[in-house]
Structure 1
Amino acid sequence: MSTTAVKPPRRRGRRRVFNTVNVSAVVIALVTAAPIYWLLVNSITPTGEMGTLPPTFWPSEPTLTHYEEAFGQHAFGRYVFNSLLVACLATTFVLGLSLFAGYALARMPVRGKGPIMVFLLMISVFPTIAVVTPLYMIERSLGLLNTHVGLILPYVAFNLPFAVWIMRNYLKDLPYELEESAQIDGASTTRTVWSVILPTVRPGLFAVGVFTFTACLTEFLMAMTFNSEDDMRTVPVGIALFGSEFEVPFGTIFAASVATVLPIAVLALVFRRAVVAGMTAGAVKG
């Protein structure tokens, strides 16, 4: 009498795991998207409909009045200009410096690489509030308060360590044949970095650029402390000061917040593959 071995139900187990992962992904996506949806809906909801019970998930009469108030009654356009200028310039400096610093730490015989990387990691997690007062005193003595430079310099200083860490890990495992072929052709180190290394590390640069730009665009504490004049305020500070003693214009705040989140969302969508590739490589190549 022949007997057949009963195989364990592997497919059912795999399907359960697969279904659990799918359900978890859907739940996480809904939880993440809910605040963004609520922000967008309230930005086009008339003031009289806000805060009603039960809440409405879509306004009966959508309006763009809050956007008109944000860009009309307030100096929101000036805030946007300040934020974009500071974020773009700071990101540009961080990209250039992190590329060469990461290349030096990854490809050149630099002494003390381990302590340097530990020091960079410590700086990247250092709380801003612990140094904002000394920085304020330094900038006041140098005459940098209420200037764009007064924000660009600390933004570069605080975002550069994390950028160098990512670029160093990304450059670490690149094949040395790329540089050897360039050196045989007589290229200098600078020419090698710009002509040979730069095209191969674009995903890492995209990741650094998006994260640095987002951090600079949404930073609040230093922008609030260093720039007190209305013409020099950035978007986060300007939105926080929209309210008055007797009124908080929630609709205007929602509209301004949507206009602030929009460029970040566009960046994330356009460069999502490059950002994921750069962050994955920077995390795995230790």
Structure 2
Amino acid sequence: MNDAERREAGEVLIVTGMSGAGRSTAANALEDLDWYVVDNLPPQMLRPLLDLTELAGESLPKVAVVVDVRGRDLFADLPEAMRALRERRQIRLLFLDASDEVLVRRFEAVRRPHPLQGDGTILDGIRRERDRLAAVRESADLIIDTSSHNIHQLATQVAELFRDEGAARHLLTIMSFGFKYGLPPDADLVADMRFLPNPFWNEDLRALTGEDEGVRDYVLAQAGALEFIDAYAAAMLPVIAGYQRENKRHSVIAIGCTGGKHRSVVMARELATRLADAPGIAVRVKDRDLGRE
């Protein structure tokens, strides 16, 4: 099947990841976007399902399949099944993850055992699952860490990632953040704006944010600011083109400063402006830590 035939056959998304990381929430969000969702399908059934979608044609243009360790020993065949299916169809893999601490807390909140817990603890089950999923995670096209998400935030993120973007082949998120709150776990690339003077030390600008014109003018007037953003935008164009060739449909560029309030907010917007007209991409800006201080 050539590339044109793969596109005509419709999109297929495999949803997997850690138990408790939000697979059901992601599946519900996809269903709300008119994806046909199949839950808890053994990997061995993926090929017959794809055969059905090809026969259905436009009746099933977007299919999402939730595959996870509830399939027990059958789940072990997922990596091999994915390799075989990607030779004939355009398939993406979404992996949902969260920290061990958060997963333990979620299982305790619903008072249910982990599916691989057995006679051990919840944490034992989580560690077994991580071991089984290591190879699958490595092959994922997109990883979402839901440690800091509630169900509404996760549903919103899934909707933003998988809604129809028209002709766009790649969705680029440019995220401002504060280093003091930690690196964004889902960032593909990180740029550090702490080489620029901090507007925080200017009493007239301290209470403002990078959304204010005064802060923007101050940041862009600093030595190296415009040179950096122009060069960085130019450097991103071949990277994004490569992502498109590799069928990576979404990427995150994280722009950081100390608190995520001034420099990173300005520079994230400047980068978005410079990349907005790049062919085949849709650009959005997200401020992770703006308003936290």
Q: Tell me if TM exceeds 0.5.
A: no
TM-score, reference length from structure 2: 0.24
Larger Rg: 1
Give the helix-richer structure, 1 or 2: 1
Give the strand-richer structure, 1 or 2: 2
Q: Which has the higher contact order (CA 8 A, sep 6+)?
A: 1
